Amino acid sequence: MASKTEQCLIRMEEKLDHIHKDVEQNSKDIEELKKVVNIGKGSVKTLVWIGSITGVILGILKYGGNP
C-alpha cells in the first residue's frame, strides 16, 4: 500500500513541476505582451498628436486665418 501512495505522490510532484514551469512561461509571455501593448499605445498617441498638428496646419492654410 505504501508503494502505491509513493507512486501517486511522485506523479503528483511531477505534475506540479510541470504546472510550475507552465506558470513561469505564462508570466514571461504576459510581460512580453505588456511591452508590446505599451508600444502600440505610444504609437497611437504619437499618430493622434501628429494628425492633430497636421489638421491645425492644414486648417490654417486652407482658411488663411481670415474671417
Transcribe 50-66 into DSSP letters. Answer: HHHHHHHHHHHHHHTT-
pLDDT at 64 over 90: no
**pLDDT attached to residue 61:** 87
Structure confidence by residue, pLDDT tens digits, 13-54: 999 999 999 999 999 999 999 999 999 999 999 999 999 999
Domain ranges, ordered by start, for the chain:
1-67
What is residue 62's predicted lDDT score, i.e. its pLDDT? 85
Q: Is 51 exposed, middle or buried (0-12, 13-18, 19+ CB in 10 A)?
A: exposed
Q: What is the predicted pLDDT for the residue at 49?
A: 96
